[in-house]
Amino acid sequence: MSPLRTLLTVLSLATPCLAQFGLDWSRLYENEGTFDEEGRFSAVAVAPDGRVYAAAVSMPFSRPRFLRYGLNGQVLWSRLYGPTTCTYSQVLVGVAGEALFVGERSLNTSAHTLEVSSVSPAGSLQWNRSFAIVANAQERAVAALDATGNLLLASNSSVATHSRFAAVSPNGTLLFDHLLDLAPQASESVSALELATDGGAFLAGNAGSNGFVARVDTAGQVLWSHTLGGGFFGSVSVRALELTSDGTLVSLEQELATTGGARLRWRRIDANGAPLGSTELDLASALTLRGFERASDGSLWSVGELGTAPPGLFVARFDPVRELARSFTWSTPLDSASIGRPTLVPATAGQVWVTGNVWSAPAQANRHGVALLLGPALDGPGPGEGIGLRLLFGDNFELKEIGVAALSDSGRLVVAGRSEAFTGSYFYFDPISWIAQIDATAAPRLTCTGQTDAAGCTPTLTVSGLPLTGAASGFRVSCVNVSPQRSGLFFYGTQGPASSPLGGGTLCVASPLRRGPLLDSGPSPFACGGSLSLDWAAYAAGMLGGAPLAGLSQPGTVVHLQGWLRDPSSPAGSLLSAALRYVVLP
């Protein structure tokens, strides 16, 4: 095998934000017993103890291997357990810290099996099971662990017009295995599984040109099933489900029109399957959805690829309380020819990580993995990038592709996929599996939620640029989603966070407090289109008046900052925004 560069190069797409991220470790792995084959990691999960489980596969012979990495990235064990022609696409961590690997195995061109293997933290195989399914290159099985540690599995079945729903106990006992007819007289494909609070689960997917949602009990029997029509000019498939805190089920539906357009629909459903209303978002071009996750603030996020030129990364956020959907698209400054395999990983304070890949011609020399940290205001990378931070993986010698990602309890992001090295155009050394862990805990992040005014606006904070020591510009703080024509200001402190009631809201900055200059949210034709904005670096340097704390320009200072706005509709006459925590960088 050729010499391999094991150091991951982490680059910013626009600003030198390397200091806000630390590379904990980066590793390359070649599947033992292979020769000149393509290797990649196909699944990854982080256990509560911070150690990482991963599944690797080599092509073209599809030799899967399970691994566990330690806190410093060392390989604790590596086991060749799975059958050939099997790719494990999911890893779940069980109640005893074991890893449950779920994958699909191709038997021939028309039949697959669903494979499940349980591996102990020490690396011993505890049990494995197989279930017959039909081949479907577009869908994979969905899996979840219930409160008692039982593994629930849903997929298509060996009977094309039925779905398979099975449950396996933590010790490998098969609890049930049912073939369900959830949408009669049509071939079914399950794409979502959501646990019910009182036991059982909700299932969703598509059958022919229609979507469906169904409720099953703890024994796997169907309680109800409803078909969601696609209409005359398009087809509908339910891509994801989420149960909100008030017990309402929200389905994410994708409708593709014969004219090439697309529509997303978030449908609210009660416990008996009755529709409660829906929110729709029309798109100008076709969308390929790749992921759907619930953030810590209850918002529902989806990510995919738009069929635009140049191609665009698509991210949407739905607030089920306010029934508000927002979205943005993004193309990299790499003159990208393609954006692929985006994924979502929920983070803290309502944020999410979006990972994916970007490449431009020639793809052999310009292929990068990318990770974006996006906040509740849906401020993405680019002008006014807000809370969005971004990393680019690869240095035009070691090309990196991210296929899967996971977040540890301590806030560290694990990304995995493959690495390729080349010495000239179209000449590669072994493409092999690659995994890395990133520490983004020092990155700016929101710490609490703001008040909502009478117009339904909930102010939140975003940042762009870097809080660098000695800089007199380049770090801008904005309070967005604000009613127009409101005066306000930013106040801050360096003594940590707080959580105390104030004027109907929450004061999130510990005393003593200091204030910045008075600002105005300006005019806007939109109800929540106002914003307060300040070059915080210029203020910290004393260029905007006032008496800024010296700590604002000292490296390592942890600053908590919050917005205050006048609000005539509030009993207190004012309201508070969300708060921001950031660290002054050297």
Span 28-51, pLDDT tens digits: 887 665 555 678 899 999 999 999
Span 528-541, pLDDT tens digits: 889 899 999 999 99
Name residue 469's amino acid: T
Span 461-491, pLDDT tens digits: 877 777 888 889 888 888 988 999 999 999 9
Confidence of residue 4 (pLDDT cuts 50, 70, 90): very low
What's the whole-number mean pLDDT along residues 161-185?
Answer: 91
Span 401-435, pLDDT tens digits: 888 999 998 889 999 998 876 545 545 556 788 99
Which pLDDT score, from 0 to 100, does residue 13 have? 24
What's the whole-number mean pLDDT along residues 202-213?
Answer: 89
Here the tokens at position 251 are 């389905």
Contacting residues for 194 by C-beta, under 8 A, at least 6 apart: 144, 201, 202, 204, 241, 242, 243, 249
What's the whole-number mean pLDDT along residues 13-18?
Answer: 28
Q: Is it the case that residue 398 has pLDDT exceeding 80? A: no
Which pLDDT score, from 0 to 100, does residue 449 have? 80
Which pLDDT score, from 0 to 100, does residue 430 have? 61
Which pLDDT score, from 0 to 100, does residue 1 have? 28
Using CA atoms, how far residue 340 sits from 289, 311, 368, 378, 532, in Å, is: 11, 9, 10, 20, 35
Is the distance from CB of 471 to CB of 541 less than 8 angstroms?
Answer: yes
- Residue 428, beta-bridge partner list: 422
Here the tokens at position 573 are 């006459």
d(CA 370, CA 176): 41
Domains annotated on the chain, with CATH: 152-281 (no CATH), 445-583 (2.60.40.10)
Which pLDDT score, from 0 to 100, does residue 494 have? 95
What's the whole-number mean pLDDT along residues 89-118?
Answer: 89
d(CA 13, CA 3): 28
Q: Higher model confidence: residue 479 or residue 311?
A: 479
The Cβ of residue 33 has, within 10 Å, a number of other Cβ atoms equal to 11
Confidence of residue 334 (pLDDT cuts 50, 70, 90): very low
DSSP 474: S
Question: What is the rounded (10 degree) CA torsion for 43, 48, 50, 54?
Answer: -20
Which pLDDT score, from 0 to 100, does residue 418 have? 86
Span 487-508, pLDDT tens digits: 999 999 999 999 999 989 999 9
Stated pTM of the model: 0.76
Q: Measuring CA to CA, which residue among 225, 223, 155 is closest to residue 183?
A: 225
Q: Side by side, which strands form the sheet with 210-216?
A: 188-195, 201-207, 210-216, 222-228
Which pLDDT score, from 0 to 100, does residue 19 have? 36
Three-class SS state of 67: strand
Q: For strand 324-330 and strand 338-346, is the pairing parallel, antiparallel, or unpaired?
A: unpaired
Burial grade of 503 (CB within 10 A; 0-12, 13-18, 19 or more)? middle
- Interior angle at CA 157, CA 151 and CA 161, nearest 5: 135
Q: Is it the case that residue 208 has pLDDT exceeding 70? A: yes
